[in-house]
Each structure stands twice: as structure tokens, then as C-alpha cells.
Amino acid sequence: MKSEVLATHTAALFAVAVKRAADLLRAGEVVALPTETVYGLAANALNGEAVAKIYEVKGRPAHNPIIVHVSDLAMAQRCVAQWPEVATDLAKSFWPGPLTLVLPRAKEIPDIVTAGGETVGVRWPSHPFIQAVIRECGFPLAAPSANLSNQISPTNAEHVRKTLAGKIPLIVDGGQSQVGIESTVIDLTSEPPTVLRPGMIHHESLIAVTGDLLSHERKKLGGETLRSPGLLKKHYAPKAKLVLAAWRDSADFNSQLSTLNSQLSHTHIIAHSHIPPADRVAGVSVIPHDAEAFARAIYAELHRCDEAGAELIVVEALPESPEWRAIADRLTRAAAA
């Protein structure tokens, strides 16, 4: 299969890409589309056979559910069996945007989307392209990240092309993702609501709307049905081994490097505050000490390290303040054995 790549940077190209994507989606195909969080691999969420292609292309475990993307509030409400007042309040505050609401599923949502569970995650993304495609289709889109399962999420079309070219008919280039990590997921079927996956909409902002909020505690996954993607122990991982480390100065950095048992010529460093010397390692990259800027850049840096042949990626440990919580979650899972 040849994967067509369509640009969207003019009004005419945008319109052509919307029509092409919608035609393929109506025909039961899967396509890679930009969102403001990461690029998604989309299929008609009401067509179980189409959604099955997502699992096949990604090599995604069958027990990992997929978020459903909508283009307005009415479509979101059609995807669920109940719509509580708190859902309206959260939608008014954060939609369109990087927030997923988990609610009891409607009968029209196939089992494969929810991994057999009784709830579904629904999101109204803010990226204009995927909004336009959903409106053109008239149906919601199931869309996990457009990558191979458990690997680094893509934040531009080139990331998608390098992993999925030849596996899907269309990749739409909508530019760089502006959030850079996956959406916040909040379960509204619990009392109080529970954050299943942290994101760049922070706990404090959510609790201002919900009044009370629990954080999902990591635990070993047994026979339970997952209510959200992003709950597996190992996820978002580069090909290279990833470790998080804190160092005070160059001497401390060099001392810690000596304990990592890796060839320095294949070791890459990603720092934000304490910039180490670059003379002993393959490369040092610096992301600003700002949580939003770090989130936008981190997956692209991990992709770059893998492409450079890294065997070990050392990421400077993150601050423990709330705005860094979601990034820490992603990197901790990426570093899991």
C-alpha cells in the first residue's frame, strides 16, 4: 500500500485533504490525522470492522480502549448513555480541547472501541482539521495515537510516515501538535470524578469545576477492564532505554553516567535546567524549563534520539510541581522495564 501524504497549509489544500480523508473514512479505512495533542489514527467509531483495522495497524492490545472524537456537544451526547451536569460544566470550560470524559457508552458504540467495557472516553478536539473531517463525515472518529503500540506518540506527519508508511492509505500533514502529549482523561462514572490519565489540563483547573477529584493510583493490571488508554505500565517508549536522573553539576553528572553501563557514544541527554557538558556523550539537547514548552517538544526529542541511534536516553528529572505531573507520568511509563 502506498501512503498518500496531503498538506493543509492553504485553504484549497485543506479542503482537498478534508474530502479525501472523509471519503476514506466513509469507506471503512483508517487515516492519520492531526490533533492538537498528538497525531491520531482515525476510523469510523460506529464501524467495528473499521476500528479493528486500527488495532491491526498499531499492534494494539485488544484490552486497551480507544477514545472517540467528536465535532460538537450534540455528537458527544449521542455517544453516551448518560450525560450528567458535571459533563456539561467540564465541556463548557475545556472543550474543544485536550480533555477526555469517560461516561457510560451508548449502544451504538461497538465493543471493540471500549475493549468490551461499559464506558467510553469522548473528546472534542480543538484542531481545525480533525473538526472539519468529523463534520464532513457526520460520525465520530475512534482515534488513538498514530504510532505502533507502546511507542512514542507522533507530533508531526513525518513521525507518522516513518512508522506507518505502507500500512495506511493517507497521512494528513496539519503541522506540529501544539499540546504535544495526550489528553487529560477524567472518569465521570465515579463519585467524585477520577483523573485516569493526567494531561496539560491540570488537576487544579479541573477541581475548580468539579469541586472534588480523585487521582488514579497505579496498580498492577489484573482482569479489570481499562476505562482509558495510557494506563499500561510501559507506554510512550522510545526504542532506546530511557532513564530519569537528577544531577547537581558536571562532576555529579559524570559520576552518574559512569554507573549507567552504556556506551557514551550512544548516550543522548535531554536537559532543562542543569545543562551537562556534551564532550563525553553523543548529544545534549535542551528543552526550556517550562512545562508547556517541554510537553510540546519532548516526544519530538525522543524521536530524534531514536533516529540518531541512541541506545540510552537520559532525561533530566522533572520538578514535582503540579504543572509537570502529566509529563512525569509519560516519562515514567516510557522508562518502565
Per-residue model confidence as pLDDT tens digits over 107-124: 999 999 999 999 999 999
In 3D space, the residue among 323, 117, 93 whose CA is nearest the CA of residue 206 turns out to be: 93
Beta strands 214-215 and 194-197 are: parallel
Q: Given this model, what pLDDT does residue 222 score?
A: 45
- Looking at the predicted structure, is the pLDDT value of residue 227 above 80? no
Amino acid letter, residue 186: I
Q: At what angle do helices 11-26 and 128-137 cross, to 10 degrees?
A: 50
In 3D space, the residue among 65, 1, 6, 56 whose CA is nearest the CA of residue 32 turns out to be: 6
Q: 165: which DSSP letter?
A: B
Rounded-to-integer distance, Cα 228 and Cα 231, Å: 7
- For the ranges 60-64, 212-216, 269-273, the maximum mean pLDDT occurs at 269-273
Global confidence as pTM = 0.93
Q: Please, which pLDDT band fits residue 257 given cuts at 50, 70 and 90?
A: confident
Rounded-to-integer distance, Cα 144 and Cα 166, Å: 19
Q: Please, which pLDDT band fits residue 224 given cuts at 50, 70 and 90?
A: low
What domains can be seen in the chain, in order of their start residue? 4-215 (3.90.870.10), 241-334 (3.40.50)
How many Cβ atoms are within 10 Å of 12's Cβ, its own excluded?
A: 8
